[in-house]
A and B are shown apart, each in its own frame.
Chain A
Amino acid sequence: MIQHAAILPILIPFAAALLQLAAKGYGFAVQRAIGLLGALLGIFAAIWLVQLADAGSVLVYALGNWPAPFGIVLAVDRLAALMVLLTALLSGAALLYATAGFDERGRHFHPLFQLQLVGLQGAFLTGDLFNLFVFFEVMLLASYALLAHGGGLARTRAGLAYVALNLAGSALFLIALGLLYGTLGTLNLADVALRLQAPGIDIALARLACMLLIAVFALKAALLPLSFWLPHAYAAAGAPVAALFVIMTKVGIVAILRVQAIALAPATATADLLDNWLAPLALATVLFAAAGAFAATRLRDLAAWLMLGSAGTLLVVPAFAQSTVTAAALYYLLQSTFVAAALFLLAELIAARRGAIADDFQNGPAFHAPWLALAFLLAAASAAGLPPFSGFLGKLMLLTALRDSGSAAAIWFVLLVSGLLVMLALARSGSRLFWARKPDLPSPAAPAVSGRQTAATLLLVAPVILLALFARPVADYAARAAAQLHDPQAYIAAVLGTHNPEIKRETRP
């Protein structure tokens, strides 16, 4: 059983999706029960995987028992296990929220949700670049349908742009893979890392292939010239779907981190591939997002812009390829994911209480919901990076880790100024939403907010405090994960085996 642990996070949602499709005739209650059970099992499997990975060695699972680099492998290091756990927790909360009624607004919500999970978990676990493409596509296909779930022209239009852009991205991904295979003769990440260091490869073509690959990941991660789709698509999605989508930009960021640390940085041919352009573009993304947050007119738009800002902050990191910087980024990634997801759910809960005005920043009818105001305060304070919450700690760790780098002044300036802008935007929107009343407006009828929606939102707000309270163990784990990520020799040895350093290769024209 223990050797099959690596595939459980993929198998559980896949089995749940199949069962839900089979149980379609028995109504939503059965589908919901299967989905929630699957989410719970997924969380347990992810916790187990984190424990296994934290033993220190990379778990390698050869699919179909074909050894790498000929077969496809799943490789679980601490980073992959951490991302699997984050996805499991986030999706659990989003699913709990969706079972309160959102899932009934269209067909097949539950199987699509589980299939999206298959794609997400697979993308974090796989050790093969073509397999990464396949899991990306599984994730995207499900996300296309989930984005349109609930209907309406806004969602259809946002979906059309989102699908077209990602199809173009997929085409680019395939071109990159074709170039990589044509140049290096392999698509296994560990083997790619070895081949990039080998003599006699066409360096120009290999660099081009790696650059295209990074460009595709940057599209998913919403780096500035490729990020205009994000606020539009995320603000149009339904609240639980948007909460789940928060993890999708992180897939791109983790893919860049992994490819950079394992394949690009150790090879002299590609070591400087991310230098001098990724960090400036990432900082531009942060400023762009801060300006967008300031101009947002609805809370869900604001949440989407904040998410873009955190993605930009994280994209500063890969170019440094330093274990301390990556460790700080992993902590920041955890807390920013929870906060952004919580803000999307809060936006819908607040909108439900304000009648026709919804979550627009206008003076609205009076409503009384102290827990909602408190949850918004916690999430907003953390998103703005105010002490003592986890957002502050994350930003502090990142700024401290980057203090000794050459471009520290620019990074500090941009991150602190954007933090100030975000804080002003959140303070303005919060006072509009909760305090600015229009007395002559009749209070809308009390909305039927179910306990599950409340519980799911509070579960996503809780990490704001929990990650701050348990910052030491989490940051320690992040440090170990980053140290492991930046030791590619161990990863390569685990995937390819130490006894087989020189794989017999065909010579090709």
Chain B
Amino acid sequence: MEALLATAIAILTACGIFLMLRPRTFSLVLGLTLLSYAVNLFLFASGRLRMDAPPLIREGAAYTDPLPQALVLTAIVIGFGMTAYLVMLALRALSESGDDSVDAKEKT
């Protein structure tokens, strides 16, 4: 379980960083999205992995740490908003320059 999660996070991070370094805004957005998936999984794992345990503390019952779940929720919402804005900005750059490159020059 731990090895599987760690591998998934590693692959997502590696793909995210590779895509972020591409010169097109589309791959940049995809890369940042993958990176934020990796980060969310990582945050989730910071409360330790537990099977069949709800994030609710009850007398005698098994439970998992609820705080990372709240953190992940916040991080997802923020990351989603940011990515949406980045897509808007990329579209605007595309319409202004006619080019999807991250350092596009003015349309001539």
Report how far A11 CA is from B103 CA in the complex, Å. Answer: 39
Ranked nearest first, the 6 interchain pairs of A and B with the lowest CB-CB distance are: A182-B46, A178-B46, A178-B43, A153-B96, A174-B39, A156-B93
Complex contact A160–B102 (CB within 8 A): yes
Cβ of B56 < 8 Å from any Cβ of A?
no
| 0/1 interface trace, chain A 179-196, chain B, CB 8 Å (1 if under) | 101100000000000000
Main secondary structure of the interface of B (DSSP, over half): helix
Report how far A141 CA is from B71 CA in the complex, Å. Answer: 18
Question: Chain A residues with Cβ under 8 A from B38's Cβ?
Answer: 171
Complex contact B42–A174 (CB within 8 A): yes
- Count residues of chain B with CB under 8 A from any CB of chain A: 37
Complex contact A181–B68 (CB within 8 A): yes
| 0/1 interface trace, chain A 154-173, chain B, CB 8 Å (1 if under) | 00110111011001101100
Report how far A130 CA is from B97 CA in the complex, Å. Answer: 38
Whether A181 contacts B89 in the complex (CB less than 8 A), given A134-B78, A141-B81, A167-B82, comes out as: no
Whether A170 contacts B85 in the complex (CB less than 8 A), given A160-B102, A178-B68, comes out as: no
Complex contact B25–A160 (CB within 8 A): yes
Minimal beta-carbon separation of A188 from chain B (angstroms) = 11
18 A-B pairs (CB sep. < 8 Å): A130-B71, A141-B78, A141-B82, A141-B85, A144-B85, A153-B93, A156-B93, A160-B86, A163-B85, A163-B89, A167-B32, A170-B82, A174-B39, A177-B43, A178-B71, A179-B46, A181-B71, A182-B47
Minimal beta-carbon separation of A123 from chain B (angstroms) = 14
Complex contact A157–B93 (CB within 8 A): yes
Question: Chain A residues with Cβ under 8 A from B106's Cβ?
Answer: 153
Whether A167 contacts B86 in the complex (CB less than 8 A), given A175-B42, A177-B71, A179-B46, comes out as: yes
Minimal beta-carbon separation of B88 from chain A (angstroms) = 9
Question: Chain B residues with Cβ under 8 A from A171's Cβ?
Answer: 32, 35-36, 38-39
Task: Please give the residue numbers on chain A whose beta carbons come within 8 Å of chain B beta carbons, in ascending order.
Answer: 130, 134, 137, 140-141, 144-145, 148, 153, 156-157, 159-161, 163-164, 167-168, 170-171, 174-175, 177-179, 181-182, 508-509
Residue among A156, A163, A174, A181 having the largest count of chain B Cβ atoms under 10 Å? A174
Complex contact A156–B85 (CB within 8 A): no
Report how far A453 CA is from B32 CA in the complex, Å. Answer: 40
Report how far A145 CA is from B82 CA in the complex, Å. Answer: 11
Minimal beta-carbon separation of B38 from chain A (angstroms) = 8
B52-88: which have CB < 8 Å to A? 67-68, 71, 74-75, 78-79, 81-83, 85-86
Complex contact A163–B75 (CB within 8 A): no
Complex contact B79–A170 (CB within 8 A): yes
Complex contact B39–A137 (CB within 8 A): no
Minimal beta-carbon separation of B3 from chain A (angstroms) = 15
Minimal beta-carbon separation of A346 from chain B (angstroms) = 27
- Closest-by-CB residue of B relative to A164 is B28
Q: Which of B39, B45, B79, B90 contacts A160 (CB 8 A)?
A: B90
Question: Chain A residues with Cβ under 8 A from B46's Cβ?
Answer: 178-179, 181-182
Report how far A156 CA is from B75 CA in the complex, Å. Answer: 25
Question: Chain A residues with Cβ under 8 A from B71's Cβ?
Answer: 130, 177-178, 181
Complex contact A168–B96 (CB within 8 A): no
Q: Which of B25, B97, B102 contacts A153 (CB 8 A)?
A: B97
Question: Chain B residues with Cβ under 8 A from A508's Cβ?
Answer: 48
Question: Chain A residues with Cβ under 8 A from B48's Cβ?
Answer: 182, 508-509
Question: Chain A residues with Cβ under 8 A from B25's Cβ?
Answer: 160
Minimal beta-carbon separation of B108 from chain A (angstroms) = 12
Minimal beta-carbon separation of B62 from chain A (angstroms) = 12
Cβ of B104 < 8 Å from any Cβ of A?
yes
Report how far A179 CA is from B68 CA in the complex, Å. Answer: 11
Q: Which of B28, B43, B82, B90 contacts A137 (CB 8 A)?
A: B82
Question: Chain B residues with Cβ under 8 A from A148's Cβ?
Answer: 89, 92
Report how far A508 CA is from B67 CA in the complex, Å. Answer: 14
Minimal beta-carbon separation of B60 from chain A (angstroms) = 15
Complex contact A164–B20 (CB within 8 A): yes
- Closest-by-CB residue of A relative to B74 is A134
Question: Chain B residues with Cβ under 8 A from A144's Cβ?
Answer: 82, 85, 89
Minimal beta-carbon separation of A122 from chain B (angstroms) = 14
